[in-house]
Amino acid sequence: MQKNQEIKFKNFVWINLVNPNKQILDELAKKYSFHPLAIEDCLSNIQQPKIDDYENHLFMVFHLPRYIKRDSRTVSVELDVFLSNNYIVTIHNGELKPFNSLFDEYVDKKRTLSQDSSAYLLYEILNVNFSHCLKMLERIGDKLDRVEDRLYEDQSRTTLEEISVIALDIINFRRVIGPQRFFIRDLEAVKTKVISEALEIYYDDIGDKIERVWEMLNNYKEVSDVLQKTNESILTQRLNEVMKLLTIFSAIMLPLTVITGFYGMNIIGLPFANHSYAPEIITGILVLVIAAMLYYFNRKKWTR
């Protein structure tokens, strides 16, 4: 996990804080005149993204998706940002891998800014994270393709559970991305403070990227719903086939049971009871009954 670090650029400074305590945030608030309510938001979990326009800076809360492999699910990770012309302060829990990689590249001087402004750096931070969302969606797409390929070969409980896990992952992903779609619109109202007109096209690109992610999630949701319904239909059809087979078997056994029960009565005078070929005759009758019923069922197309 990264430690708290500071990178100085030509015109501004980037301060990156990982799980800071109240004391660190209070010291920072005193230095940069952060509002106490913004500090309070940094110390609590906010369920929705927000943009607050203060006198000398912007305070933004973003939620970005993170995939937990061991649980096969997507969770939301909060990223708090203080943005001014002279600084950008990022606060998070250290679990955003794309963000961490970007920060490390700047620390190691493997990456340089094409435009020396805090607003452009914010664009890069958002761009690298939402670009990673597209890679995460590729993983979901591959899972759906694998399930679809073997859907008609394997309708086991495992397949049903796998489809359900994928569907839940898509729902969680949508829950994270959905509110972020409107952050560009909210940013439009305050962009003149720190975001120049030259950077509009970059932030529009972020908005387009979010919409692409959202559209792919909608498509994947439709695919997962269809796979779920198809799997259920196949399972129902197979269950009906089994029930039909059992019904035919029961229908055939019913008259046989009546005949054998009839001859099982301990009374005198039953037909063929005293005949020397009684077992063969009774067996023949049973076979004829079975053949007749199978012929009838086949003619009615109940065995197909």
Residue-by-residue pLDDT tens, the chain, 304 positions: 455 689 999 989 999 999 999 999 999 999 999 999 999 999 888 768 888 888 888 999 999 999 888 777 888 999 999 999 999 999 999 889 999 999 999 998 888 888 889 999 999 999 999 999 999 999 999 989 888 888 777 656 677 788 888 999 999 999 999 888 877 767 766 666 677 778 888 888 888 899 999 999 999 999 999 888 888 787 787 888 888 888 888 888 888 888 787 777 776 767 777 777 777 888 888 888 888 888 887 787 776 6
Q: What is the pLDDT of residue 1?
A: 43
Q: At which of 236, 251, 277 does a domain end?
A: 236
What is the number of structural domains in the chain?
A: 2
Tell me, yes or no, whether 304 lies in a domain.
Answer: no
Q: At which of 217, 236, 255 does a domain end?
A: 236
Q: At which of 236, 260, 287 does a domain end?
A: 236
DSSP string covering 165-213: HHHHHHHHHHHHHHHHTTHHHHHHTTHHHH--GGGHHHHHHHHHHHHHH
- Residue 291 belongs to what domain range? 239-299
Rounded CA separation 166/148 (Å)? 12
Q: What is the pLDDT of residue 203?
A: 85
Helix, strand, coil proportions of the chain in percent (round to 5)?
60, 15, 25
Q: Are residues 155 and 261 in the same domain?
A: no
Q: Are residues 132 and 212 in the same domain?
A: yes
Q: Among 55, 112, 103, 111, which residue's Cα sits nearest to residue 79?
A: 103
Q: Which CATH number goes with the domain that contains 123? A: 3.30.460.20
Tell me, yes or no, whether 263 lies in a domain.
Answer: yes
Q: Are residues 89 and 216 in the same domain?
A: yes
Q: What is the pLDDT of residue 26?
A: 92
Rounded CA separation 16/103 (Å)? 8
Q: Are residues 147 and 289 in the same domain?
A: no
Distances, alpha carbon 167 to alpha carbons 51, 64, 137, 208, 223, in Å: 31, 19, 13, 24, 9
Q: Are residues 127 and 214 in the same domain?
A: yes
Q: Are residues 83 and 148 in the same domain?
A: yes
Q: Are residues 28 and 93 in the same domain?
A: yes
The model's pTM? 0.76
- For 53-100, the pLDDT digits (tens) are 888 889 999 999 998 887 778 889 999 999 999 999 999 998 899 999
